[in-house]
Amino acid sequence: MQLQGRGDDKAKLVRVTQRQADPLAPGLHRREIAKVDTPMDMVPVLSEPVRKLKREEAMQYRVPMVLSAWENRDGHTVGVAARVAADGRRLIKHELSTGHADMAEALAAAQTLVAREISERAGLRQEEERRRQSAAEDRLREMAKSARQVRSVRPEAEDEGAVKREAVRDERRRAIKRDVRVERATGRRSDTTRALERDVGERMALGQTGTADGSSSKGGDADFDPRLFARAANTMGKAGDDSLYDKPLFSHNRARDLYRP
């Protein structure tokens, strides 16, 4: 800051800086406690002494009690006619509100509407179910009709051949069952079973050097094991049975011969 003097032309330079303050120094302002004047001495309140009231003054301050519903102030009973006449509630005309009846009617109408809607929905569902069942029955009927037409178009020769083959199968099944029943009932083995169970020595002694059933092997069948042909025939005969094997693992006689002494 530059200052110009009055008496001379010399100028002075003044530098203004901020005074550094100590943050831990106490404040410069002072707190003063306000002075409270001493209270004055309590002065007693002087009043007149309590005096006894006279009868007339006491009657003036008397408040009457609640009046009885049956007696008046003088102790006389109030009549029923006078009490009813004095009752002001009879003068008010009471009007009955129709809100309860309207609400009951609205609830009944809503309940009727809901029941009607429920019955209509149930009827629609039943109609849809009947329509679906009818469509399924029609589809099955058409499938059966088409199957009958396909069967009617098939050649008769094929049907006759199938009938003959089925008859042959039935005959073989009956023969096998009959042989089994005879073996179980009599304990005797059939000719086929005995021929199959004979060893080579017995066959040579009996002259059955060919097949197991005693036929000759001069035609060139001696090069093959005849038991294979018998097993194949037995398998073809039992093609319709539920058994998975052509014969049991151990026959009755062979199981009995296992423990022969």
* 96-135 tens-digit pLDDT: 888 899 999 999 999 999 999 999 999 999 999 999 999 9
Classify residue 221: in a domain, yes or no: yes
Whole-structure pTM value = 0.25
Classify residue 152: in a domain, yes or no: no
Query: How high is the pLDDT of residue 208?
Result: 65
Q: Is residue 195 packed enough to be buried (19+ CB in 10 Å), middle (13-18) or exposed (0-12)?
A: buried
43-47, 57-61, 74-78, 139-143: lowest mean pLDDT where?
Answer: 74-78
Over residues 88-100, the mean pLDDT reads: 80
Classify residue 39: in a domain, yes or no: no
Say how many domains are in the chain: 1
Classify residue 226: in a domain, yes or no: yes
Q: How many whole angstroms separate alpha carbon 168 and alpha carbon 174?
A: 10
Classify residue 197: in a domain, yes or no: yes
Over residues 193-209, the mean pLDDT reads: 69
Classify residue 14: in a domain, yes or no: no
Show the domain range for 199.
189-239
Classify residue 146: in a domain, yes or no: no
Number of other CB atoms surrounding residue 211 within 10 Å = 19
Classify residue 27: in a domain, yes or no: no
User: Read out DSSP for 123-181?
Assistant: HHHHHHHHHHHHHHHHHHHHHHHHHHHHHHHS-HHHHHHHHHHHHHHHHHHHHHHHHHH
| C-alpha atoms less than 13 angstroms from C-alpha of 14 in its C-beta half-sphere | 7
Query: How high is the pLDDT of residue 163?
Result: 82
User: Read out DSSP for 30-91?
Assistant: ---PPP-PPPPPPPPPP-PPP-PPPHHHHHHT--PPPPPSSB-TTSPBPPHHHHHHH-GGGG
* 139-178 tens-digit pLDDT: 999 999 988 888 776 655 556 778 888 889 999 999 888 8
Report the amino acid identity of residue 200.
V
